A = this chain, B = another copy of it.
Amino acid sequence: MVTLKDVALKAGVSPSTVSRVVSGNGRVGQKCREHVQAVIKQMNYRPNTHARALACNRVEMIGLITPNVSTPFNGSIAIGVEEAAIELDYKTLITNTFRSPEAAINAIESFREQGCENIIIHTHSIDDVTLVKLAKEIKGLVVVNRFIAPIAQRCVWIDNVYGGRIAAEYLIAQGHKKLTIITDDKTARDPKDRILGIKQAVEDAGLHIPEERILFGINSIGNIEHGRKLARQLIEEKRDFTAVLAYNDMMAIGAINEFQDMGYKVPEDISVIGFDDLFICEVSRPHLSTIHYPIVEVAKFATQLSLALTNGDEGVIGKANMFMPSLVERSSVKNIKNNK
């Protein structure tokens, strides 16, 4: 392994000089710098991460904390983070919490102890006040896919109200009057926001969604199984509706499958719209119309923000951290304007 000292020796300068050339801190003469750079290249020197981390108590690493990378949504977050990390030659350290708040806190601690202040966290299991406190302490902590008012500038999220609204508007434009919602935890912010948006659109159209047509989950995780379950409930309890707005694509697809298994046709009998725009939308039959969530972009921006925060680069700081979702039309919603 070639060390800084080796380079210094060969270049005929002191280690400090080499260090300054590598890091770009401190003054080095033009000629000297070029010479050292040449030697570095020639010897293929690469600085030792740990020595550097130890000496300056920070590390060029960004830590991602996510419930489970193997799900498409979180996998996309990971990609966004890595894309941004690569650009600055940072490494990506991933910890899966499997929804355990202790695991998440532990991961944060562990990152900090390693001198890693750049932490991107995607969690719903740590409460707002804890996160606010942590954000105060950790310069580079940014929260992704979640809005927490006191630390809004440290969050990157999408406009869920708007997302809900455009989904509902689309359904209404297709002639649907009796909408139903299958969603996630009643107390969670995202479901609430999306419902809010839906209600706005519905009211603007002079319609109304009775509470009984909004089905929540309890401690659910918005997955396929959950979608199936609520869809079954919808049918069994004979709720009156022509279209369902699912909290996300997973639930939507679960619901579609359940409807189909029960003998209903989608979209002929029931229209369904999802949220997120995961790759499975193109796979399901019918292809799922949904609200596009720019996940990779959000994660990428979050990472850039974190880096800017710790490195004092003001470039992205202050930019709006809210992204806008958008409608993507496929085949799971039927236009029933003329036949009903």
Set of chain B residues within 8 Å of A113, measured between Cβ atoms = 1, 46, 48-49
A270-289 residues with Cβ-Cβ distance < 8 A to B are 279-280, 282-285
Q: Is the CB of B96 within 8 A of A94?
A: no
Set of chain B residues within 8 Å of A49, measured between Cβ atoms = 50, 113-114
Contact with B along A75-102 (1 / 0, CB 8 A): 1101100100000000111111000000
Q: Choose from B54, B78, B257 the contact partner of A94 (Cβ within 8 Å).
A: B78
- Complex Cα distance A70/B220, Å? 23
- Complex Cα distance A46/B280, Å? 43
Q: Does A187 belong to the interface (CB within 8 Å)?
A: no
Q: What's the minimum C-beta distance from A226 to chain B, rounded to whole angstroms?
A: 14
Set of chain B residues within 8 Å of A224, measured between Cβ atoms = 279, 282-283
Q: Does A233 belong to the interface (CB within 8 Å)?
A: no
Name 27 A/B residue pairs within 8 A (Cβ), A-sorted.
A48-B113, A49-B114, A50-B50, A50-B53, A50-B54, A50-B59, A54-B54, A69-B69, A69-B78, A69-B79, A72-B72, A72-B75, A78-B94, A78-B96, A82-B94, A91-B93, A92-B94, A92-B95, A93-B93, A93-B94, A94-B94, A224-B279, A253-B283, A257-B283, A283-B283, A283-B284, A285-B285
- Complex Cα distance A299/B78, Å? 19
Q: Does A311 belong to the interface (CB within 8 Å)?
A: no
Interface centre among A69, A253, A282, A284 (most CB of B within 10 A): A69
Q: A113-B46, A257-B285 are in contact. Are A93 and B96 (CB under 8 A)?
A: no
Q: What's the minimum C-beta distance from A71 to chain B, rounded to whole angstroms?
A: 7
- Complex Cα distance A54/B282, Å? 49
Q: How large is the interface on A (under 10, 10 to 19, 20 to 34, 35 or more residues)?
A: 35 or more
Q: Does A335 belong to the interface (CB within 8 Å)?
A: no
Q: Does A217 belong to the interface (CB within 8 Å)?
A: no
Q: Does A68 belong to the interface (CB within 8 Å)?
A: yes
- Complex Cα distance A68/B109, Å? 27
Q: Does A260 belong to the interface (CB within 8 Å)?
A: yes
Set of chain B residues within 8 Å of A188, measured between Cβ atoms = none
Set of chain B residues within 8 Å of A16, measured between Cβ atoms = none
- Complex Cα distance A282/B115, Å? 43
Q: Does A110 belong to the interface (CB within 8 Å)?
A: yes
Set of chain B residues within 8 Å of A114, measured between Cβ atoms = 48-50
Interface centre among A91, A93, A224 (most CB of B within 10 A): A91
Q: Which residue of B lies closest to A1 (CB)?
A: B113
10 A-B pairs closest in CB distance: A70-B75, A285-B285, A50-B53, A50-B50, A50-B54, A70-B79, A49-B114, A75-B75, A69-B78, A94-B94
Q: Choose from B75, B109, B253 the contact partner of A69 (Cβ within 8 Å).
A: B75
Set of chain B residues within 8 Å of A257, measured between Cβ atoms = 282-283, 285
